[in-house]
Amino acid sequence: MADDVFAEALKRLDAAAEHSQAHPETVARLRRPKHMVEVSIPVRMDDGSLELLTGYRCLYDDTRGPGKGGIRFHPNVSASEIKALAFWMTFKCAVVGLPYGGGKGGVIVDPKKLSGLELERLSRGYIRAVGRSIGPDTDVPAPDVYTNARIMAWMMDEYSLMVGQRTPAVITGKPISLGGSLGRDDATARGAYYITKELETIREWKPESTTVAVQGFGNAGQHYARLCAGDDYKVVAISDSRGAVYNSDGLDIRTQLQVKQSTGRLDASGGKEITNEELLELDVDILAPAALENVITSENAARISAGVVMELANGPTTSEADRVLSENDILVVPDILANAGGVTVSYFEWVQNRTGDYWKLEAVHERLGEIMRREFHAANRFRRKHQIPMRTAVYALALDRLGEAHEAMGTSSTFSKR
């Protein structure tokens, strides 16, 4: 992400405020994070040397509940990026009605260059550094870019050692055996899939003739392609960082998953090799950007031909591109709604950790589906009522909910002299 990503995020707030009932004080408060820490993490390397790594944790807003948001390990992590991601999490939790605020964390590091022991030392060191800023009732982290269930287990264990008692609810995305929730592995994609099924009804799609292109074949992209293909949607293109594979008759997603898992590559024999850029411009019913930020820009937006853009990635569309897509009557289901299945099932995990009552997979799917369908239709009604793009509607709806919480304790009109 560019260094001005936080300024870019605030443009969403300004657009939403024009259609929201929120008081100007709420808007002003949401222009700044509540709490942001930068920490130095000393990591002893396997060769005996010491590396001092920089980490961040941002609690953007906790008016509706504890902060919630992932921890990423990536060489391009920056303070601006972390603030923007925490801002997005604040709105994401509000738009799906979760009793959470927004948070995010990260470390500037290339985890691919670390050994297993170095990665564990970093993970535990990060928690020691930010431990006073997180907690089950304060700010609840989760996995993000280049972090996973095992890293969450190390972090939960380190926090538990710090406070002197086992505290599974401090972090989500853990292994099932250590308090994780069933259904967390495909929750992000499954949430988007439930929205897809609602669009199927609205747009009268027939799955067997409905085409899907998925840019990015990581966790979210793989599961979304699998769920769509399993329901007879025609997944015609998928991609990873090396390139894309296209077949107008539909790809064999089961084979692609097997080949990707065993070789780390896509099965090019299943279709024609194209570029990621060409995939984005395919004439399909659904385009699902599921990898990087800012892949749909002012440069290529006019060439996007999909009827629906389902944003599985965070921030794949720039604000300039948004205007073009809207003018071309392309429905964008924005990231803070489309990929909110992940944080929703993280909430389920947190609830289960706190109550000790662990749910069956069917219950997780049922509750996730109920929330995603309900909030998609709420956003779509708001969009149609105000005749605005879906992204603006989603942000405005979330802003209304945040405003209700902020303003419940009074605004300037409450305290002004009469």
Phi, psi for residue 25 in degrees, rounded to 5:
-65, -35
Report d(CA 97, CA 349) in Å as an integer. 16
- What does the pLDDT read at residue 294? 86
Give how far the C-alpha of residue 293 lies from the chain's centroid of Cα atoms, to the nearest Å: 11
Q: Which of 133, 103, 107, 121 is nearest to 37 (CA)?
A: 133
Q: Which of 106, 61, 59 is nearest to 79 (CA)?
A: 106
Report d(CA 256, CA 274) in Å as an integer. 16
CA distances from 52 to 42, 73, 75 (A): 5, 14, 14
Q: Count how many Cα atoms sit within 13 Å of the Cα of residue 136 in the half-sphere of its side chain.
A: 17
Query: 140 forms bridges with which residues in the sheet?
Result: 68
Cut 0.75: pTM above it: yes
Report d(CA 385, CA 401) in Å as an integer. 17
Secondary structure (3-state) at 307? coil
CATH of segment(s) 33-178: 3.40.50.10860
CA distances from 326 to 75, 285, 320, 355 (A): 34, 16, 10, 44
- What does the pLDDT read at residue 418? 57
> Pairing between strand 35-44 and 50-61?
antiparallel
Secondary structure (3-state) at 279? helix
Q: Which of 69, 131, 78, 129 is nearest to 104 (CA)?
A: 69
Report d(CA 318, CA 108) in Å as an integer. 24
- What does the pLDDT read at residue 417? 65
Question: 247-266 burial, b if ≥16 CB within 10 A, otherwise e?
Answer: eeebbebeebbebbeeeeeb
187-338 has the same fold as 33-178: yes
Report d(CA 288, CA 276) in Å as an integer. 12
CA distances from 276 to 139, 178, 246, 295 (A): 36, 38, 10, 9
Q: Starting from the edge strand earliest in sequence, which strands make up the sheet with 234-240, in order?
A: 272-274, 243-246, 234-240, 211-215, 286-289, 308-310, 331-333
Token pair recorded at residue 90: 């604040």
- In the annotation, is 113 catalytic? no
Residue 28 DSSP one-character state: H
| Sign, Cα dihedral of 232, 233, 234, 237 | negative
Report d(CA 95, CA 380) in Å as an integer. 12
> Pairing between strand 139-143 and 211-215?
unpaired
Torsion of CA 403, 81, 128, 109, to 10 degrees: 160
Token pair recorded at residue 58: 């941002």
Per residue of the chain (418 residues), give pLDDT as tens: 445 789 888 989 999 999 999 999 999 999 999 999 999 999 999 999 999 999 999 999 999 999 999 999 999 999 999 999 999 999 999 999 999 999 999 999 999 999 999 999 999 999 999 999 999 999 999 999 899 999 999 999 999 999 999 999 999 999 999 999 999 999 999 999 999 999 999 999 999 999 999 999 988 999 999 999 999 999 999 999 899 999 999 999 999 999 999 999 999 998 999 999 999 999 999 999 998 888 999 999 999 999 999 999 988 998 899 999 999 999 999 999 999 999 999 999 999 999 999 999 999 999 999 999 999 999 999 999 999 999 999 999 999 999 999 999 998 888 886 5
* Fold annotation for 187-338: Rossmann fold (3.40.50)
Token pair recorded at residue 125: 């060191």
Domain spans of the chain, in order of start = 33-178, 187-338
Give the containing element (helix H, strand E) for 20.
none
Amino acid at 268: A
Q: Which of 130, 182, 171, 114 is nearest to 148 (CA)?
A: 171
Query: Which residue in 34, 68, 104, 174 is the catalytic one?
Result: 104
